[in-house]
Amino acid sequence: MTYQPKSDFLHTLTQRGFIADCTDLQDLDERCLKGPITGYIGFDLTATSLHIGNLVQIMLLRWLQKTGHRPITLMGGGTTKVGDPSGKDEMRKILTVDQINANADGIRTVFARYISYGDGPTDSPLVNNAEWLDKLNYIEFLRDIGKHFTINRMLAFESVKSRLDREQPLSFIEFNYILLQSYDYLELYRRYGCTLQMGGSDQWGNIVSGADLIRRVEGFAASALTTPLVTRADGKKMGKSADGAVWLNEDAMSSYAFWQWWRNVPDADVAKFLKMFTELPVDDCVRLGALGGQEINEAKIILADEVTALCRGTEAAATANATAREVFEKGGVGDDLPTLTLTRAELGAGISIVQLITRAGLAGSGKEAKRLIAEGGARMNDAALGDAGLLVGASDLAQPMKLSAGKKRHALVVLEG
């Protein structure tokens, strides 16, 4: 990227590593300098919570608002009924309207921590594309919008091409997703004066098609901007852990587990993640990321504190930090650890340690739990476990039991009543 943006928004994105591609960076920069612009990112409602893979896009919208512009968090109540084929090997499960609406409520709670909603000039309006997509007349849509798309071009889109190259079926309903996302941009342009759509690099084809549709229909050169694919230095996909997705909502993942994920990122990722997922000055992010030895662990704690405070609140971050210090530095049992609560009926005459490790989320299966014990990686109340046949009874759970897998993953087991 040779052009150096002058607007606060694009200068910030450039410094913090958010920009992969842009249709015309200089034109977008000049419009940002002239006055507030409106930009959006769409989020399909496939779960009650987003995960940290979506956090890049949420931070984009936050920086757009913090630098004096208006963000739109577009809820995909309509497009979720179709399913985005990007990066998928099979068709997404079709959700009911009630499921989609419940997911929207859950996702909106996270957005509210990052984005200011309201009617002010830079406040984000609450928008759901079901408002217009649910009312579409199919024949009129094909005539007015479909005529601007060619099958040849759509087949060249990465989201379509990669699916076909892997010889995975692509349903007609998913194929239409490109048209619907493009139409979203046109509607937002007409309703809110939105002239910028942003998203991940895998969305480049869809986003550019929306900008092209606005040019063809309205004669305006709308902008498209994408972020790079963010992966960890160890090669793992952003948003995933050994136990699955790292969720943003408290009811989907405890604040302690969320905090701990950031505390355990590879050393090489610290500077990058500080720049992308916190609001610390860039110079501080670089300085902290360059630390070595024990000092890099303190930088990771700062990363975990800052990200958790933004996502869950300062109190949740402080509690998670205190729990971690108690567990790791003092060998204690933190109150905020992920907890498995057993009833006396479940416990019965005793429950196997293998089952406890599995149910506590420290192993994906009984076989994995047995291997963990055999390799010396499992501990109970900080003592090594050597017997996979151990039965745990009520007397063992008179006090909360701390289970550990390796040095960094812990859970509590408590007996109800």
Phi-psi sector, 411: left (phi>0), alpha (psi -120 to 50), beta: beta
Average pLDDT on 79-102 reads: 69
260 in the same domain as 124: no
Alpha-carbon gap, residue 310 to 321, rounded angstroms: 14
Q: What is the pLDDT of residue 407?
A: 77
Q: Look at residue 284 and tell me if it is in a domain.
A: yes
Strand partners, 383: 380
Same domain, 313 and 348: no
> What would the mean pLDDT of 97-120 be, rounded to a whole number?
90
Q: Could you tell me if residue 252 is left (phi over 0), alpha (psi between -120 and 50 degrees) or otherwise beta?
A: alpha
354 contacts 373 by C-beta, under 8 angstroms: yes
Q: Are residues 84 and 28 in the same domain?
A: yes
For the segment 257-282, the average pLDDT, to the nearest whole number, is: 92
CATH number for the domain harbouring residue 312: 1.10.240.10
Which tokens go with 284? 């501080």
The verdict on residue 148 lying in a domain is yes
Pairing of strands 38-44, 196-200: parallel
Q: Could you tell me the CA-to-CA distances from 70 to 40, 81, 334 in Å, in that order? A: 9, 27, 41
For residue 237, tell me if it sits in a domain: no
Q: In sequence order, what E strands does 207-249 have?
A: 223-227, 240-241, 244-245
* Res 406: pLDDT: 84
Among candidate residues 192, 227, 262, the one where a domain is terminated: 227
Task: Select the more confidently predicted residue: 120 or 274.
Answer: 274
**Radius of gyration of the chain measured on its C-alpha atoms:** 24
55 CB neighbour count, 10 Å cutoff: 24
> Would you say residue 397 has pLDDT above 60?
yes
Once rounded to an integer, what is the mean pLDDT over residues 249-255? 84
How many structural domains does the chain have? 3
pTM: 0.78
pLDDT at position 409 is: 81
Identify whether residues 130 and 51 lie together within a single domain.
Answer: yes
Among residues 200, 245, 166, 229, which one has the least CA distance to residue 84? 200
Measure the N-to-C terminal CA separation of the chain; round to a whole number of Å: 62
Is the model's pLDDT at 271 over the cut of 80? yes
Percent of the chain whose pLDDT exceeds 90: 42
| pLDDT surpassing 60 at residue 240 | no
Mean pLDDT of 317-345: 72
Candidate from 10-14, 206-210, 217-221, 386-390 with smallest mean pLDDT:
386-390
Q: Give residue 328's pLDDT band: very low, low, confident or very high (50, 70, 90).
A: low
Average pLDDT over residues 313-333: 77
Average pLDDT of the chain, as a whole number:
86
- Is 110 within a domain? yes
pLDDT of residue 244: 60
Do both 70 and 207 map to the same domain?
Answer: yes
Q: What would the pLDDT profile of 28-46 be if each residue is shown by its tens digit?
A: 999 999 989 999 999 988 8
The verdict on 310 and 346 lying in the same domain is: no
Q: Are the CB atoms for 274 and 306 separated by under 8 Å?
A: yes
Residue 234 near residue 37, CB atoms below 8 Å: no
In this predicted model, what pLDDT tens digit does every residue of 8-32 receive, in sequence order?
A: 999 999 999 999 999 999 999 999 9
Contact between 127 and 170 (Cβ < 8 Å) = no
Check pLDDT > 50 for residue 89: no
The pLDDT confidence band at residue 274, using thresholds 50, 70 and 90, is very high
**What is the β-pairing status of strands 196-200 and 126-128?**
unpaired
By three-state DSSP, how is residue 227 classified?
strand
Report the CATH number at residue 53. 3.40.50.620
Q: How far apart are CA 156 and CA 173, in angstroms?
A: 17
> Do 121 and 223 share a domain, yes or no?
yes
- Residue 246 within any structural domain of the chain: no
* Domain stop point among 305, 329, 353: 329
CATH number (domain holding residue 370): 3.10.290.10
Host H or E run for residue 21? strand 21-22
Close Cβ partners of 159 (under 8 Å, ≥ 6 residues apart): 84, 85, 86, 87, 178, 202, 203, 205, 206
Residue 216 structural domain: 8-227
Flag whether 200 is in a domain: yes
Question: Same structural domain for residues 209 and 314?
Answer: no
- The per-residue pLDDT for 40 is 97
Are residues 265 and 132 part of one domain? no
Q: Which amino acid is at 189?
A: Y
Whether residues 29 and 170 fall in one domain? yes
* 41 and 185 co-located in one domain: yes
pLDDT band at 276 (very low <50, low <70, confident <90, very high): very high
Q: Examine the domain organization and report whether 145 and 18 are in the same domain.
A: yes
The whole-number average pLDDT for the span 121-125 is 93
Q: Where residue 242 falls among pLDDT bands split at 50, 70, 90? A: very low
pLDDT band for position 239 (cuts 50, 70, 90): low
CB 195 within 8 A of CB 38: yes
Which of 212, 227, 242 is the last residue before a domain boundary?
Answer: 227
d(CA 128, CA 65): 19
Strand partners, 332: none
Given a cut of 90, whether residue 211 has pLDDT beyond it is yes
- The C-alpha atoms of residue 143 and residue 149 are separated, in whole angstroms, by 11
pLDDT beyond 70 at 241: no
Q: Is the dihedral of CA 170, 176, 177, 179 positive or negative?
A: positive
